[in-house]
Amino acid sequence: MPRVAVPIINSQHGLHDGHKAIIAYAKQFGDVYVSLGENIRDRNRYLETGKGEHKKKEDTSKVEQDCAKLEINLIMPDYIQVSEERRISAYNRASTFINMCKDLLILEIYVKQAISAFATIFLLSPGLERQFDFIVHGPEPIAFFFKKIALLSGAYGQRPIYNQITKDKDRIKIGSTWMNVPFSKKRARKIIDDAKSQYKIGDNKNLVKEINESSLKNDDWKVSYITVYEGGFVQGRIEDTGFSYPTNPGTAIVNNIDYFE
């Protein structure tokens, strides 16, 4: 029976309906394993700067319980701690490769995610690409990017993409980052719907500025970015809208994705 990986990032809330929909879709390809990502922010910081340690810091018990209920195997993450020479070499290799095609990803957050993911592949052996026959994701920009790169490089394994985004009652993408946001998700959805006729392929910086200076002029939360991917490495069209709000310390960003085949 083929082995199928569904990568997810750990959450204290466990598996949400979006995860469960992707898992149900993945079952058609073989035996499903949830591959857990945990402490991702510290991992990426360590890979980029060498500062801190990538080690277990989060409670994974809820994800473990949910996987057990679904009778799904759970693979816990490998934690990275290597010599500075190996870390720098891996990160530089990943940066060199991703920077050649970073214009396709458009957003710096996706460029950094891609670099860290490639550096991880270089440092952990064997990676998911060698352990599994299929790696299944939802229709996110970074998922389509890695699918295209895998095809071009002839990497082992296939990367099916579930073609739906699971939404909540306000038609916002379900995700743990949206839980307890200090602004109205219904209003966020209205911001999207009112502006989407003006969405253009690529980076919509001018539209972001216009919305923030008019509709959100007196609000603490703002539109962080509006990026549209259509064609190229993406099959179909992705409308990716990010919102930011102040935290103590720093700023948090959440995003909604609308996908059209």
CA 18 – CA 15 distance, rounded (Å)? 8
- Report pLDDT digits (tens) over 22-62: 999 999 999 999 999 988 889 999 999 999 877 877 889 99
10 Å CB burial of residue 62 (0-12, 13-18, 19+) is middle
Pairing of strands 202-203, 134-135: unpaired
SS3 (DSSP) at 237 = strand
Q: For residues 212 and 189, is the Cβ–Cβ distance under 8 A? A: no
Q: What share of the chain is helix, strand, coil (3-state, %, to 5)?
A: 45, 20, 35
10 Å CB burial of residue 120 (0-12, 13-18, 19+) is buried
CA 111 – CA 106 distance, rounded (Å)? 8
Q: Please, which pLDDT band fits residue 152 given cuts at 50, 70 and 90? A: low
User: What's the pTM value of the predicted model, to 2 decimals?
Assistant: 0.91
Q: What are the residue ranges spanned by the domains of the chain?
A: 3-153, 176-260
Residue-level pLDDT at 129: 63
Which helix or strand (DSSP H or E) is residue 216 part of?
none
178 Cβ neighbours under 8 A, 6+ residues apart: 168, 172, 185, 254
Residue-level pLDDT at 246: 95
CA 31 – CA 133 distance, rounded (Å)? 10
Question: Residue 115 carries which side chain, given as an amino acid letter?
Answer: I
SS3 (DSSP) at 68 = helix
Q: What percent of the chain shows pLDDT beyond 70? A: 96
Q: For residue 156, is pLDDT > 80?
A: no
